[in-house]
Amino acid sequence: MGRDERPVKTHRERKSVSTEQTYAQDLPDLDACRRELPALIEDLERRYARLDPPLAVRGVMVKVKFSDFTQTTVEHADPAPNLEQFETLLNVGWARGERPVRLLGVGYRLAENSQEQQLSLF
């Protein structure tokens, strides 16, 4: 009969924040992709600043979708991301396909908002 008496859960814990851009004209090479990174990171920072409550960053990621619609995501655990880290991840992602890029994305992996603590081993 399609009935489900379980309560609806409308809140989920956020695990990441990201932004991506699909380009009207494919980005032809790695240098063109690098030129787009600062604007993407700026948008990511705006989105991150709106988080309530704020969560700690535990890693960075870059998503690359190529002109043939194949895609790859490269991640690195780091609590203090910067432009150079995003560029390094972009280099790795680009090397996996080395063809024009249709979409670029950047994001942060977030730490859990939990009061639980890691117990000592000893």
Position 10 in a domain? no
Report the pLDDT value the prediction gives residue 118, as an integer from 0 to 100: 58
Position 5 in a domain? no
Report the pLDDT value the prediction gives residue 115, as an integer from 0 to 100: 52
Report the pLDDT value the prediction gives residue 9, as an integer from 0 to 100: 77
CATH at residue 63: 3.30.1490.100
Kindly give, in sequence order, each residue whose CB lies less than 8 Å from that of residue 12, ignoring residues fewer than 6 positions away: none
Position 27 in a domain? yes
**Which domain covers residue 88, as residue numbers?**
16-108
Report the pLDDT value the prediction gives residue 28, as an integer from 0 to 100: 97
Along the chain (122 residues), what's the average pLDDT of each consecutive run of 10 residues? 82 88 97 97 96 91 97 93 94 97 97 62 66
Angle among Cα 30, 105, 11 to the nearest 5 degrees reads 170
Report the pLDDT value the prediction gives residue 54, as an integer from 0 to 100: 86
pTM above 0.85, yes or no: no
Angle among Cα 11, 42, 83 to the nearest 5 degrees reads 110
Report the pLDDT value the prediction gives residue 120, as an integer from 0 to 100: 65
- Tokens 């859990």 correspond to 112
In total, how many domains does the chain have?
1
- Tokens 């969560």 correspond to 55
